[in-house]
Copies of this chain bind each other. A is one copy, B any other.
């Protein structure tokens, strides 16, 4: 297959981009357009009438999906084929089977690798159920500290906060990630250790931050006269250095075919989430993710919400040349969801080579950022509306609130005000405003789309999580890059260890070893 830039449909899309519709032109942005440009599935509606596309663009984008064989690749991924590799070079060379972590419901995958992965995952789920039943009986634990970083932190935390309204009462989860000692110091000041579980999460069992924070935590327990083994759980790979029943009350397994950023539905998120939500609601969360996993396998491309979102993202990135994407949930509960998507997207698709190892000559994954609305409106929206760098937005909204604790003030509820702002921003960004005062002139024509659903409950949280997982994966398929490795994080780790050694030497009274790493020493000199 030719590289992205030379695909037939890419050449065609480049031509179309020169003529992309201007949403501020009279007669373009109409109620009919908003109505007709939306698709729905699994309780999600995707509105894209405020993107700079026509039906012709959409046809070409779907042709791009066909030309790059994304549906075959998605089927291959979910069946457990090896898709995490770079051809001809040493690479991870394994499947990406996060969808198997929730394939527990109707119409399961029957391919051998997917089936086996699902069975293994289900065993862990049963273990977790038994474990939670036991601690429930004794009423031993009120708090849980999850120690993990990256995917072992961001996804679980985003989901935890996202559906806090559905937690069991008196169950609280804290997340300890940073090697900064102040992160742990702050958390351990706020919990009663006797009533607290600690879940240590590392697939390899070797993550520096996580092992350091585990040790930090164990010392706290020892100092308090408590036995860490009665409190500590491990989530790790089988036979990793952390897979040690002597050290943990219980262990739960993950596998090398689950990438950290795709692991929220595995035991990486499972232990903390099921502790907080209870098993039934945790299963609802998995059910929501699984529903989207099935949706994206449908033969009809036009009903595939994550695929359409992926294609619109590629239109904005590669054809309209926009370097970033903002994800703006109009929901305070999703305050950390953009941070999860930042990892999911940028670690998956922030790549400079394709799957054949050739440096790419086109743009891959954009910079992902965002904060909840309406907060953002009082912060960075000035730049969104009138700045010189155009930012495509992905809005997320819900018809109903979670707590249903609301008031009518000046004729409308808070939820109605929230939705009014959401819809207004989508329109304002696209439509702009003419004015003789140049400061009150809004150029408009700023693309955005909206994912709307009923209520942010556990099922919908799972659906939206999987929606974004598949959006990111589809983009990787189209660009023909490997969305499942992360070699780009290795160099920093390697150099950090050199400086750690320099610190260790100083601590042993050997003085600063400038020779082993002179550039590191140049900074270290300033710590005197």
Contact = CB atoms under 8 A, between A and B. Distances in A.
Contacts of A365: 383, 387
A181 B405 contact: yes
Interface stretch (A191-199, A438-446, A469-477): A438-446
Contacts of A357: 437-439
A3 interface: no
Nearest to A33: B522
Contacts of A429: 492
B377 A492 contact: yes
B439 A353 contact: yes
A293 B181 CA distance: 31
A519 to B, nearest CB: 5
A346 B180 contact: no
Contacts of A339: 371, 379
Interface in A338-373: 339, 342-343, 346-347, 349-353, 357-360, 362-369, 371-373
A74 interface: no
B379 A367 contact: no
Given A89-B439, A212-B410, A399-B527, 6 more contacts: A31-B522, A185-B401, A185-B402, A207-B378, A367-B391, A412-B503
A371 B343 CA distance: 11
A150 B408 contact: no
Nearest to A348: B382
Interface stretch (A133-141, A238-246, A482-490): A482-490
Interface residues of A, number: 161
A426 interface: yes
6 contacts: A31-B521, A180-B418, A186-B403, A411-B504, A424-B498, A452-B526
A500 interface: yes
Given A34-B519, A492-B385, A178 B372 contact: yes
Contacts of A149: 374-375, 378
A526 B330 CA distance: 16
B374 A209 contact: yes
Interface string A374-403: 110111111111111101000000010111
Nearest to A154: B379
A382 B523 contact: no
A211 B414 CA distance: 11
A380 B440 CA distance: 36
Given A31-B514, A407-B216, A438-B89, A375 B520 contact: no
B375 A523 contact: no
A116 interface: no
B209 A415 contact: no
